[in-house]
């Protein structure tokens, strides 16, 4: 079990997502997981995520946008 969970909520921000993920992966502390909560993005967010091949990355896809608070609170979407 990872010691730290970095949660990255996103909605149509694919252009910033790559750098956010890379920033976490480049930390010197490595006992972490990244949980990305995609809040029903319509851009190329899924493609950006798919370019990372790291077992510490988990993704939750919300089928319907839950807004800022909903994406951060429950992550009740479909995990992939």
Length of the chain: 80
Pairing outcome for strands 32-39 and 4-10: parallel
Read off the tokens for 64: 């319907």
Contacts of 63 (CB under 8 A, 6+ apart): 40, 77, 78
**What is the pTM (predicted TM-score) of this model?**
0.84
pLDDT tens-digit map of 10-67: 999 999 999 999 999 999 999 999 999 999 999 999 999 999 999 999 999 999 998 8
Domain locations along the chain: 4-79
Is the model's pLDDT at 69 over the cut of 70? no
Domain spanning 4-79, CATH architecture: Alpha-Beta Complex (3.90)
């Amino acid at each position: 079990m990872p010691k730290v969970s970095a949660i990255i909520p996103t909605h149509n921000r694919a252009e910033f997502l790559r750098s956010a993920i890379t920033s976490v992966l480049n930390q010197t502390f490595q006992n972490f997981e990244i949980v990305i909560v995609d809040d029903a993005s319509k851009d190329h967010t899924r493609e950006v995520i798919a370019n990372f091949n790291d077992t510490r990355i988990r993704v939750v896809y919300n089928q319907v946008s839950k807004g800022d608070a909903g994406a951060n609170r429950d992550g009740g979407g479909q995990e992939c």
